[in-house]
Amino acid sequence: MVEAGSEHPVRRTPRRVVAALAVAAVASAVLGSGLAFAQSGGVGAPGTTTTPAPTTAPPGSMVFPVSGAHTIGQGFGAARSGHSHQGQDIFAACGTPLVAVSRAKVKWVSYQGSAGNYVVIRNKKLHQDYMYAHLATRAPVSKGQIVMPGQQVGVVGQTGNARGCHLHFELWLGKWYRGGHPVNPLPYLQSYAGY
Ligand SMILES: [Zn+2]
């Protein structure tokens, strides 16, 4: 009988020998995995390669509006008295250059009680308007002027209703207060060169 014959040696193996063999197998498995780990660590884990950031933005790409050291502040939708924050605050030292995020046409250069000195530029191709607020001084551009990506449109300040030097940046899909609506600019900003 085949069944009886194959069963016979198993029954005769003493239990403590089986247990010892099992412990040895586990120990070797642990040691083996430890060695494998050390070896792969020495060679270098995959996925650690980094691509150096480009020093200049490739043609057609978008540029971060603050040209200098900055920190991301309060975002879109933050509660304000009577309304919600419809832009993204970006803190930087007063005087830090503010630049056009893309090729755009200057639509408004003005001053308003809460925005302070502000400038609105329009990217006709993307149907987006960008508003920069709290500029230290009046924007050095004029209505109707075409600005290029990275071209200076002002400097960081704290005019109007601002606490601390920062840029209040709005991104509108469509026209600023002329049928468009503001969206959360952060995902856009994060994709811009110099973020
Ligand atoms: Zn703001």
pLDDT tens readout for residues 83-128: 899 999 999 999 999 999 999 999 999 999 999 999 999 999 999 9
The average pLDDT across 39-49 equals 42
Residue 180 banded pLDDT, cuts 50, 70, 90: very high
* Per-residue model confidence (pLDDT) at position 77: 94
Rounded CA separation 73/65 (Å): 14
Q: Distances from the Cα of 189 to the Cαs of 7, 127, 129, 138, in angstroms? A: 71, 16, 14, 24
Nearest-Å Rg of the Cα atoms of the chain is: 31
DSSP 8-state code for residue 178: T
Q: Kindly report the average pLDDT of the chain as a whole number.
A: 81
Predicted confidence (pLDDT) at residue 56 exceeds the cutoff of 90: no
The answer to whether the predicted template modeling score (pTM) of the entire model surpasses 0.85 is: no
**What is the whole-number distance in angstroms between the Cα of residue 96 and the centre of ligand 1?**
17
Separation of 168 CA from ligand 1 center, angstroms?
A: 4
CA of 145 to the centre of ligand 1 (A): 25
**How far, in Å, from the CA of 60 to the mean position of ligand 1?**
27
How far apart are the CA of 116 and the centre of ligand 1, in A?
A: 11
Least confident of 26-35, 57-66, 148-157, 186-195: 26-35
| H helix or E strand, kind and range, residue 161 | none
pLDDT at 141: 98
How close is the Cα of 166 to the center of ligand 1, in Å? 8
